[in-house]
């Protein structure tokens, strides 16, 4: 049924508290409404034209001067839809008003809207009063919010109007359930998309992500004229770790190396697992001399770190982008440097080059 207004004093809120607490200082239990509203994407006062249209429909069904659609938790309230007749004299404006007492809301019971001081201030410019409310209940019966009707005079709703408002409330909840499903699918798709470009073991970007980022950085370098360098590195004698301690130890070692490498880079540098025990590092806006400094610093850091399964070293190849040759040449040159570093005894940094006669070591075909 649609409930009429009762006058009571609203409970005080603890606005501004980081964590809601009881009077004895203990944390309050998590409000299930907050969880549901977050899943519906409704935990804010962002205007939503769809809810304005629903409020308009509710106002016409109830033959009243204004209507609101609100959602609430024990600590917060959000007005998502608002409508008022032109004859009311002005429009409803967003307001952080507490329109009713949360303690009155019980699952499966009628909702009572209170003519609180805040509600009176909200409707006063139109000379209206909050007259009736209809609860918006989740499928489990939890009251999430209400359709609120305001008018100058008490409303005398015909049974068919009450039935229509109940049907409208049910449709709103069905739309919320559909919205929750779509939001869930969107989040799942986002997670899957992230997994597609993330190495599951080290949580670093994978080869696919590297290829995409490399294309982006080459395009950026082409626009700005900034240099771009690439490091390819390999953990020396990594097979020995697997052979002596097992593959789980190898996994742990890869994770530890990835964390140390990431900690030694700038926020806009890009670390990716290239494959096996190899990693790649893109260094935007970095010339060859500075890239060699970065590579040597990473090499020294790894060599000086005590890992879970013993000491490690890495070998690195460095290359610089030649705009005329592109991504493939950049990768091939870095791989050449890595190959030569390992052949020269490992635990060292060498510049790769595709043209033996090029003293600068750029990736020029």
Confidence of residue 99 (pLDDT cuts 50, 70, 90): low
In a domain, 322, yes or no: yes
Q: Per-residue pLDDT averaged across 177-199, rounded? A: 83
In a domain, 361, yes or no: no
Q: Please check whether residues 7 and 138 belong to one and the same domain.
A: yes
* pLDDT for residue 24 is more than 70: no
pTM here? Answer: 0.56
Q: Partners of 70 in the beta sheet?
A: 79, 146
Domain-ending residue, one of 139, 168, 194: 194
Report in angstroms the alpha-carbon separations of 292 from 29, 198, 274, 360. 55, 27, 19, 12
Catalytic position from the list 142, 217, 277, 278 = 277
Q: Please check whether residues 80 and 153 belong to one and the same domain.
A: yes
Q: Please check whether residues 165 and 265 belong to one and the same domain.
A: no
Residue 108 phi, psi (nearest 5): 85, 0
Given a contact cutoff of 8 angstroms between Cβ atoms, the answer to whether 102 and 80 are in contact is: no
Q: Please check whether residues 52 and 20 belong to one and the same domain.
A: yes
Residue 321 belongs to domain with CATH number: 3.30.70.270
Number of domains in the chain: 2
Q: What confidence tens digit (pLDDT) does each residue in 71-91 have?
A: 887 777 788 888 988 766 555
Q: Which of 22-36, 118-132, 189-203 has the lowest mean pLDDT?
A: 22-36
Q: Please check whether residues 164 and 70 belong to one and the same domain.
A: yes
Percent of the chain exceeding pLDDT 90 equals: 48
Q: Please check whether residues 177 and 312 belong to one and the same domain.
A: no
Q: Please check whether residues 215 and 178 belong to one and the same domain.
A: no
Q: Which of 51-65, 101-115, 223-237, 327-341 has the lowest mean pLDDT?
A: 101-115
Q: Per-residue pLDDT averaged across 295-302, rounded? A: 97
Domain-ending residue, one of 172, 194, 216: 194
In a domain, 356, yes or no: no
Q: Please check whether residues 275 and 213 belong to one and the same domain.
A: yes
Residue 44 belongs to domain with CATH number: 3.30.450.40
Q: Per-residue pLDDT averaged across 191-205, rounded? A: 87
Q: Please check whether residues 287 and 344 belong to one and the same domain.
A: yes
Q: Per-residue pLDDT averaged across 30-36, rounded? A: 77
Distance CA 123, CA 190 (A): 42
Q: Please check whether residues 176 and 227 belong to one and the same domain.
A: no
Q: Which of 189-198, 265-274, 297-306 has the lowest mean pLDDT?
A: 189-198
Domain that holds residue 290: 207-351
**Helix or strand (DSSP H, E) at 131:** strand 129-137
Q: What confidence tens digit (pLDDT) does each residue in 241-276 have?
A: 999 999 999 999 999 999 999 999 999 999 999 999
Contacts of residue 304, Cβ cutoff 8 Å, sequence gap at least 6: none
Distance CA 299, CA 312 (A): 10
Given a contact cutoff of 8 angstroms between Cβ atoms, the answer to whether 352 and 337 are in contact is: yes
Q: Which of 55-59, 121-125, 153-157, 317-321 has the lowest mean pLDDT?
A: 121-125
Domain-ending residue, one of 194, 217, 239: 194
Packed helices 247-263 and 288-303: angle between N→C axes, nearest 10 degrees: 130
Identify whether 142 is a catalytic site residue.
no
Q: What confidence tens digit (pLDDT) does each residue in 134-161 have?
A: 888 888 888 888 888 888 888 888 889 9
Please name the residue ranges forming H helices in the chain: 32-40, 49-62, 117-123, 159-196, 207-224, 238-245, 247-263, 288-303, 327-343
* pLDDT for residue 214 is more than 90: yes
- CA pseudo-torsion sign 77, 78, 79, 81: negative
CA angle 247, 194, 266 (to 5 degrees): 80
Given a contact cutoff of 8 angstroms between Cβ atoms, the answer to whether 154 and 131 are in contact is: yes
Percent of the chain exceeding pLDDT 70 equals: 78
């Amino acid at each position: 049924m649609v409930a009429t207004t009762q006058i009571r004093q609203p409970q005080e809120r603890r606005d501004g508290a980081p964590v809601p607490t009881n009077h004895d200082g203990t944390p309050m239990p998590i409000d299930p409404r907050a969880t549901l509203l977050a899943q519906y994407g409704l935990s804010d006062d962002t205007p939503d034209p769809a809810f304005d249209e629903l409020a308009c429909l509710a106002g016409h069904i109830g033959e009243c001067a204004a209507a609101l659609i609100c959602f609430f938790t024990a600590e917060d309230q959000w007005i998502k839809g608002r409508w008022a007749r032109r004859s009311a004299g002005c429009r409803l404006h967003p307001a952080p008003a507490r329109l009713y007492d949360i303690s009155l809301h019980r699952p499966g019971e009628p909702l009572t809207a209170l003519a609180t001081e805040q509600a009176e201030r909200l409707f006063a410019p139109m000379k209206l009063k909050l007259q009736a409310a209809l609860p918006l209940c989740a499928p489990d019966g939890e009251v999430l919010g209400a359709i609120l009707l305001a008018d100058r005079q008490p409303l005398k709703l015909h049974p068919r109007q009450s039935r229509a408002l109940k049907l409208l409330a049910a449709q709103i909840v069905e739309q919320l359930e559909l919205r929750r499903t779509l939001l869930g699918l969107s989040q799942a798709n986002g997670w899957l998309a992230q997994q597609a470009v993330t190495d599951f073991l080290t949580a670093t970007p994978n080869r696919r992500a590297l290829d995409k980022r490399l294309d982006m950085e080459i395009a950026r370098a082409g626009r700005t004229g900034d240099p771009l360098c690439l490091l390819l590195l390999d953990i020396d004698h990594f097979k020995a770790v697997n052979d002596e301690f097992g593959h789980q130890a190898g996994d742990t070692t890869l994770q530890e190396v990835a964390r140390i490498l990431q900690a030694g880079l700038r926020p806009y540098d890009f670390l990716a697992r290239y494959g096996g025990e190899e990693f790649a590092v893109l260094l935007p806006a970095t010339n060859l001399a500075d890239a060699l400094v970065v590579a040597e610093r990473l090499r020294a850091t790894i060599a000086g770190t005590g890992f879970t399964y013993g000491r490690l070293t890495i070998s690195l190849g460095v290359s610089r982008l030649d705009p005329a040759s592109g991504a493939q040449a950049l990768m091939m040159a870095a791989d050449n440097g890595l190959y030569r570093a390992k052949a020269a005894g490992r635990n060292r940094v060498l510049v790769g080059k595709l043209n033996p006669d090029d003293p600068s070591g750029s990736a020029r075909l």
